[in-house]
């Protein structure tokens, strides 16, 4: 396996959905800039404003002027992470896409760990080790993983990790739907793409509050999503069987 990270011939697009997280943006951008400058001379950072009502705009105006690789995409209202990611994907110009949450719990310094496997895999997802979330979030993740495994056969260990990297052309094979990012690795496997999971560090939340407090609502949408993805996965498998 080639563990070098030679990105000189590949452009990387980092997509960061943001909703009321202005306090973390300056530190996130500074740390991400240091990481990316060491990795590649060809990259872009796309912040997607998911209808933030805080000081996002004034914070990003300064970052936009200080960092030439930064682009901002704004949604007209708060629509959720799925819509924010989809908007960022549409604007991405890179050959490979990196997704990262704006709360700094997934450290940008972990990106090189995933990029080392780019030559051998199509989709690389992080596994948060020693998670710093509260019990309710961990328990909700455990239940979601259990039902995805039993109903969908999804072996992904941490589908909720915000850090993953994939070839941009993979996007042409999947529809966008609510919480599609939770099933991305499952659908990639079902479509025949190679998937790698890599352990990464996880940090305590330093700024703001979690956006996922309503456990019952999340569970309801999660079950609806599982049944929808089951239909989609079966269709993918049938398409692969019919291929000559």
CA 102 to chain centre: 10
User: What are the residues facing 71 on neighbouring strands?
Assistant: 46
Q: What is the pLDDT of residues 94-126, one digit of tens each?
A: 999 999 999 999 999 999 999 999 999 999 999
DSSP single-letter state for residue 184: H
Tokens of 79: 């629509």
Percent of residues, the chain, with pLDDT higher than 90? 56
**Least confident stretch, 58-62, 119-123, 183-187, 215-219:** 215-219
- pLDDT at 74 > cutoff 70: yes
What is the overall mean pLDDT for the chain? Answer: 84
What pLDDT does residue 178 have? Answer: 80
176 in any annotated domain: yes
Q: pTM for this structure?
A: 0.83
106 in any annotated domain: yes
5 in any annotated domain: no
C-alpha separations of 40 from 9, 97, 111, 158 in Å: 9, 13, 12, 27
More confident residue, 46 or 142: 46
What pLDDT does residue 124 have? Answer: 98
More confident residue, 224 or 168: 168
- pLDDT at 221 > cutoff 70: no
Whole-number Å distance between alpha carbons of 211 and 52: 12
Confidence of residue 241 (pLDDT cuts 50, 70, 90): very low
More confident residue, 172 or 222: 172
CATH number where 59 lies: 3.90.550.10
112 in any annotated domain: yes
What pLDDT does residue 242 have? Answer: 46
216 in any annotated domain: no
Q: How many folded domains does the chain comprise?
A: 1
User: What are the residues facing 234 on neighbouring strands?
Assistant: none
34 in any annotated domain: yes
Q: What is the pLDDT of residues 127-181, one digit of tens each?
A: 998 886 666 777 777 777 787 888 888 889 998 899 999 999 999 888 888 888 8
109 in any annotated domain: yes
What pLDDT does residue 149 have? Answer: 82
Rounded (10°) CA dihedral 36, 87, 48, 214: -120
143 in any annotated domain: no
Contact (Cβ atoms closer than 8 angstroms) between residue 104 and residue 189: no
Residue 106 is part of which domain span? Answer: 12-134+157-211
């Amino acid at each position: 396996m080639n563990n070098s990270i030679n990105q000189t011939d590949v452009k990387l697009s980092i997509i960061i959905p943001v909703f009321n997280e202005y306090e973390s943006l300056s530190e996130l951008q500074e740390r991400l800039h240091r990481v990316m400058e060491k990795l590649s001379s060809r990259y872009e950072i796309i912040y997607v404003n998911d209808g933030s009502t805080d000081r996002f705009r004034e914070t990003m105006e300064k970052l936009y002027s200080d960092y030439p690789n930064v682009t901002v995409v704004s949604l007209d209202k708060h629509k959720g992470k799925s819509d924010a990611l989809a908007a960022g994907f549409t604007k991405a110009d890179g050959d490979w896409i990196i997704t990262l949450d704006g709360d700094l719990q997934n450290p940008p310094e972990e990106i090189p760990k995933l990029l080392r496997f780019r030559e051998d895999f199509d989709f690389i997802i992080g596994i948060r080790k020693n998670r710093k979330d509260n019990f309710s979030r961990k328990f909700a993740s455990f239940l979601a993983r259990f039902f995805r495994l039993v109903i969908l056969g999804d072996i992904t260990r941490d589908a909720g990790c915000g850090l993953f990297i994939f070839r941009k052309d993979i996007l042409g094979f999947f529809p966008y739907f609510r919480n599609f990012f939770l099933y991305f690795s499952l659908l990639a496997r079902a479509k025949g793409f190679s998937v790698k999971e890599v352990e990464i560090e996880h940090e305590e939340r330093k700024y703001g509050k979690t956006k996922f407090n309503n456990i019952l609502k999340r569970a309801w949408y999660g079950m609806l999503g599982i049944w929808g993805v089951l239909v989609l996965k079966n269709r993918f498998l049938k398409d692969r069987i019919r291929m000559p």
